[in-house]
Amino acid sequence: AQSVAQPEDQVNVAEGNPLTVKCTYSVSGNPYLFWYVQYPNRGLQFLLKYITGDNLVKGSYGFEAEFNKSQTSFHLKKPSALVSDSALYFCAVRLADYKLSFGAGTTVTVRA
């Protein structure tokens, strides 16, 4: 079955430090991968996607993600985290018929 996994339930970093949220995938063929962010009591906001092309994808709010085929990973990164980046982050893969399969989510806390 095609899926993504987020191995960390929580990530804690200090403001100004680099932030990494991990995602690995298990997909046959070429994966369509996405990152979304969910703020408390809000919907999911699209951050970025990998479809094809450059392995380094740049997205909203200064986030980027690197697609690594050999490691089957699609980690989300931000060079310098802000307190306002504290939220719940979801990695997702597009399945047949366009529906998304989500990871379990990673709660990011950025302390001042």
Partner 1 sequence: GEEVAQTPKHLVRGEGQKAKLYCAPIKGHSYVFWYQQVLKNEFKFLISFQNENVFDETGMPKERFSAKCLPNSPCSLEIQATKLEDSAVYFCASSQLGGNEAFFGQGTRLTVV
- Shortest separation between residue 111's beta carbon and partner 1, angstroms: 22
Query: Which residue in 29, 54, 99, 112 binds partner 1 (CB under 8 A)?
Result: 99
Could you tell me if 63 and 82 are in contact, meaning their C-beta atoms sit under 8 angstroms apart? Answer: no
- Shortest separation between residue 1's beta carbon and partner 1, angstroms: 13
Pairing of strands 10-14, 106-111: parallel
Residues numbered 34-73 forming contacts with partner 1, rule: CB under 8 A: 34, 36, 42-46, 49, 51
Rule CB under 8 A: is residue 22 a binding residue for partner 1? Answer: no
DSSP assignment of 9-25: SEEEEETTS-EEE--EE
Query: Which residue in 5, 27, 82, 88 binds partner 1 (CB under 8 A)?
Result: 88
DSSP state of 89: E
Q: Which stretch binds partner 1 (CB under 8 A): 16-24, 60-68, 76-84, 88-96?
A: 88-96
Residue/partner pairs of 94-99 with CB below 8 Å, 24 or more apart:
94/31, 94/32, 94/33, 94/34, 95/2
Q: Which stretch binds partner 1 (CB under 8 A): 14-22, 61-69, 70-78, 91-99?
A: 91-99
